[in-house]
Amino acid sequence: MADTTPQGATAGGEPPKPKVIIFDVNETLLDLESMRSSVGDALGGKEELLPLWFSTMLHNSLVTTVTGQYHDFGQIGVASLLMVAENNDIALSEEKAENAIVSTILSLPPHPDVKPGLTALNEQGFKIVSLTNSSNNGVKTQFENAGLTDFFEARYSIEDIKVYKPDLRAYEWVLDQLGVKPEEALMVAAHGWDVAGAKEAGLQTAFVDRPGKALYPLAKKPDYVIKDLGELADIMKAK
């Protein structure tokens, strides 16, 4: 069972009850496992390369941020798949790479715990929003296809500022949009790099311990480590 002991909390004990809960989308809410077959087919049947493709996409998103040459997440995803193919001596056209990614990533299913967990948080009266590296239209379509739209008061995309998470400016921007202080917001993500960035920006953080995910050992520890969103709802209810 995941350790839910608050970590990195202020000297007074647990962090305060947040005014807003901010969710990452891909892998945190939506299950990328369904992409394994489409990406695997594009990579000559090597489904085990899916995590490498996703990590390469994240790496390249930060390249665009530090170089100031913005490309949307879809373009970066296609380019990254082409790189993985080339590095593994797999012939892959840009058209085939795009077909393997675009339609599948827009129709990802939510993890089984997501709707019950969000329902519980909604019933507790929390303001719930999302913050993603995906495009505005992309996450809108993802939420519609996954049946998540009604759980969220707002969706935020770094497309509006062209600075990818975990750059601290992405978190500072969404706090400004929400009109809350860093310590009044809780960032929930299944990525060590995402909770590391949010924590450094001063937000409360919760790491969703999805299979195959790990915290970055050199970063500040998150306030909570949870096994699923139901556990998060239980923690918030006790506040």
What is the per-residue pLDDT across 42-75, written as a single tens digit (0 to 9) for each? 999 999 999 999 999 999 999 999 999 999 999 9
Structure confidence at residue 9 (pLDDT): 37
Residue 8 has pLDDT above 60, yes or no: no
What single DSSP character describes residue 122? H
Under 8 Å between Cβ of 27 and 33: no
Q: For residue 211, give both structure tokens.
A: 């299979």
Output the pLDDT for position 13: 65
Phi first, then psi: give them for residue 41, nearest 5 degrees.
-60, -40
Q: Residue 32 gets which letter from DSSP?
A: G
Reported as a pLDDT band with limits 50, 70 and 90, residue 116 is very high
- Assign 184 a pLDDT band (cuts: 50, 70, 90): very high
Percent of the chain as helix, strand, coil, to the nearest 5 = 50, 15, 40
> How confident is the model over 94-103, as a mean pLDDT?
92
pLDDT at position 12: 41
Q: What's the pTM?
A: 0.92
Sign of the torsion angle spanned by Cα atoms 215, 217, 222, 227? positive
Q: Looking at residue 4, what is its pLDDT?
A: 42
Write the CA distances from 167 to 47, 121, 137, 215, integer angstroms. 30, 27, 22, 17
pLDDT band at 102; cut points 50, 70, 90:
confident
